[in-house]
Chains A and B, each alone.
Chain A
Amino acid sequence: MEFAVNSVLLTMMAVISIAIIRMQNLFGVVILAGIYSFLMASVFMVLDAVDVGMTEASVGAGISTVLFLSVLGLVKVRESKSIHTPLLPLFVAIVTGGVLIYGTWTLPEFGSALSPANAHVGALYLERSMPDMKVPNVVTSVLASYRGFDTFGEVVVVFTAGVAVLLLLRRGSGRAKAMRRNMVARGLIPDNQLTDEERAQKEAKDAS
Chain B
Amino acid sequence: MRLDVVLRVVSKLLLPFMLMFAAYVQLHGEYGPGGGFQAGVIAGAGIILYGIMFGLPAAQSIMPPKLVEFLVPLGVLIFAGTGVISFFYAMNFLDYSALGPVTGLSEQYAQILGIIVVEIGVLVTVASTMVAIFYGFAGRGQD
Hey, which bits of chain A sit against chain B, CB under 8 A? Answer: 50-51, 53-55, 58-59, 62-63, 66-67, 70-71, 73-74, 132-137, 139-141, 143-145, 148-149, 151-152, 155-156, 158-159, 161-163, 165-166, 168-171
Contacts and interface: CB of A to CB of B under 8 A. Distances in A.
A163 to B, nearest CB: 7
- Residues of B contacting A: mostly: helix
Contacts, number: 138
A159 B32 CA distance: 27
A159 B73 contact: yes
A140 B112 CA distance: 11
Contacts of A133: 108, 111-112, 115
B50 interface: no
Nearest to A50: B33
A163 B94 CA distance: 24
B115 A171 contact: no
Contacts of A151: 79, 118, 122
Given A145-B115, A155-B76, 6 more contacts: A134-B112, A140-B30, A141-B115, A143-B35, A144-B114, A169-B136
Nearest to B30: A135
B100 interface: no
A63 B34 contact: no
Contacts of A171: 139-140, 142-143
B136 A132 contact: no
A198 to B, nearest CB: 12
A141 B108 CA distance: 12
